Amino acid sequence: MSCGSHDSKQSSHSSKVTVHATQRGKTRDIAASLEYDEITDPIVVLDGNGNIKLWYLPGAIDHIHQKCVWDSLNVLRAPLEESLKKSHNHGWRNDHLLFRETADLTGSIDLSPGWYQQGHGPPNFHPEVSRLLKSGQERNGTRQWVNEMSEFHALLSGTLAIIHPQMYAAGREALIRLDMEAKRREDTDMSSILPSWNSIYNSVSIMVNRATPYHTDVNGREPWLDMLVTVGDYPPLDFVIPTLNLRFRYNPGTIIAMSGSALEHGVGYTEGNHTCLAYYMRHNVHQSVGVQLCQPPNVTDLEPLIIVNS
């Protein structure tokens, strides 16, 4: 793979990087990543065919929106705290050992206006609203959070429309068709949440004060770009991709859009307050409404933008 940067200071990172095969779910010591080159300026990672595997956008989120995101977590306090009590049923993602013990707020939850529940996949079942967004759960704050994040989600969706227009179009079409299916099946839970779900992604994971071992995202697809947003107030922290022997400075306000199914990644511990919002799509949901997998983003997709700004 190659890394292209807009800053000449990062020219040393524009050479070819050998990519070794990785095993899904593998974890390694993130401390060893200190040997990797650290990237601090905006960068795009390409494969040999010019396909975009990663966007690194430090400082993409302004301080006002960062504060809004962090403050919004207060309405999720109950489900976040509850998530740690169920760690034995949810694998490593809710393992209490990964969370900062002294933090005022910790936890990890998933929200979706329509996905397949575990053990209830196609073709015998339909997509459903995630448990925390179902009717009867109004007091847990999740629907309020979706409403409060409406503007922010519109900004992130606009970002995806620029960096991966085909994925944006597929995600938009999937949500439109999901809404049509919900009305046809009289699924009032889904019909009531979709109008306020302003994210083009149909799922989000909210992780508060948690380290993340090296892993790949088994439910993703290689042509897609998952979007990670980090906010908070914490000491210098790195987002590590051992697949590339690179680490990216993960300051508050950073966006990383990447092929999470292809690139193993992880984030270590930090003593400050830190949250990551991870946005992604589910292929089986797209299949259920007849939306085909899009092509991977390619550097040629950016040519209209380059021409306009040249």
Residue 36 confidence (pLDDT): 86
Q: Look at strands 246-249 and 37-39 and give their pairing.
A: parallel
Give the DSSP H or E segment for 166.
Answer: helix 165-184
Label residue 124 by pLDDT band (50, 70, 90): confident
User: Which among 31-35, 244-248, 249-253 has the top mean pLDDT?
Assistant: 249-253
Q: Kindly report the number of other CB atoms within 10 A of residue 82's CB atom.
A: 13
| pLDDT reported for residue 24 | 35
CATH number of 2-6+29-309: 3.60.130.30
pLDDT tens digits for 111-122? Answer: 999 998 777 677
Q: Which token pair is 66?
A: 């960062």
What is the rounded average pLDDT of the residues 258-271? 92
Helices (H) and strands (E) in the chain, counts: 8, 13
Could you tell me if residue 276 is left (phi over 0), alpha (psi between -120 and 50 degrees) or otherwise beta?
A: beta
Residue 85 has pLDDT above 50, yes or no: yes
Q: How confident is the model at residue 10 (pLDDT cuts 50, 70, 90)?
A: very low
| pLDDT band, residue 218 (cuts 50/70/90) | confident
pLDDT for the residue 151:
97
Per-residue confidence (pLDDT) for residue 122, from 0 to 100:
72
Q: What is the pLDDT of residues 267-290, one digit of tens each?
A: 998 899 999 999 999 999 999 999
**What pLDDT does residue 16 have?**
27
Residue-level pLDDT at 27: 39
The predicted structure's pLDDT at residue 179: 97
Distance CA 221, CA 280 (A): 10
Higher-confidence residue of 226 and 140: namely 226
Sequence spans of domains, the chain: 2-6+29-309
What is the rounded distance in angstroms from the CA atom of residue 16 to the CA atom of residue 22?
A: 18
Mean pLDDT of 40-48: 95
Whether the per-residue pLDDT at 136 is higher than 70: the answer is yes
Return the structure tokens found at 149: 């994040």
Single-letter code of the amino acid located at 175: L
Q: What's the rounded Cα separation, in Å, for the pair 83 and 81? A: 5
Q: Is the CA virtual torsion 80, 84, 85, 91 positive or negative?
A: positive
- Whole-angstrom Cα distance, residue 154 to residue 164? 15
Q: Please tell me the predicted confidence (pLDDT) of residue 304.
A: 75
Tokens 């302003």, located at residue: 198
> Each residue of 180-216: pLDDT tens digit?
999 999 999 999 999 999 999 999 999 999 999 888 8
Q: Is-contact 130 79, C-beta < 8 A?
A: no
Reply yes or no on whether the pLDDT at 13 is more than 50.
no
More confidently predicted of 220 and 152: 152
- Check residue 94 and give its pLDDT: 72
∠229-25-97 over CA atoms, to 5°?
70
Task: Kindly report which listed range (74-88, 195-209, 245-259) carries the lowest average pLDDT score.
Answer: 74-88
274 secondary structure, DSSP code = E
pLDDT at 135: 84
Model confidence at 28, pLDDT cuts 50, 70, 90, reads very low
Q: Which 3 state secondary structure label does DSSP give 57?
A: strand
**Residue 264 pLDDT level (bands cut at 50, 70, 90):** very high
Helical H runs in the chain? 63-72, 77-85, 142-148, 150-163, 165-184, 188-193, 283-288, 303-309
Under 8 Å between Cβ of 282 and 130: no
- Cβ pair 66, 251 in contact under 8 A: no
Q: pTM for the whole thing?
A: 0.87
- Average pLDDT of the chain, as a whole number: 86
pLDDT for res 15: 24
